[in-house]
Amino acid sequence: MENNFKELVDLYHQKKIEGMDFSQIRKELAGKNIEEDLIKDIVRAIDDRMLRGEVKKKGKFKARELRLIGWTLMIIGGIITLGTYFHWFDMKGYYFVSYGPVIAGYLLIIAARKAQRKEF
């Protein structure tokens, strides 16, 4: 029974990913003479899998995006600071120290690490 339940959940989870609606899944399961309580459990299990899958994908993408933005800010801030120090840019005797983007980038990288740890 447990193995049959898992197989049904796997099968209809894949169909749900492909675009099948829950009402269609219920009708198809009812057509196979499956009890209403078991149908409810199968639909609930499929819904749980769908929600867990979407949350994990969003979390990973968000952490990766934060890390990329953080590194970009740090690199841009570092190039601007080094460029004025080594006179790559003509600032007529002034130095432009861009600590803001460097610090903000570092904080975004730390936030990305924390967001990634929460996933696991």
| Token duo for residue 120 | 């696991």
User: What's the pTM value of the predicted model, to 2 decimals?
Assistant: 0.49
Q: What is the mean pLDDT of the chain?
A: 85
How far apart (Å, rounded) are the C-alpha atoms in residues 117 and 120?
Answer: 6
Express as a percent the part of the chain with pLDDT over 90.
29
How far apart (Å, rounded) are the C-alpha atoms in residues 104 and 99?
Answer: 8
Domains in the chain: boundaries: 1-56, 63-118
Residues 57-76 pLDDT 10s: 555 667 888 899 999 999 99
Q: Of 10-14, 33-37, 57-61, 85-89, which range is least confident?
A: 57-61
| Token duo for residue 116 | 């990634």
How far apart (Å, rounded) are the C-alpha atoms in residues 3 and 86?
Answer: 69
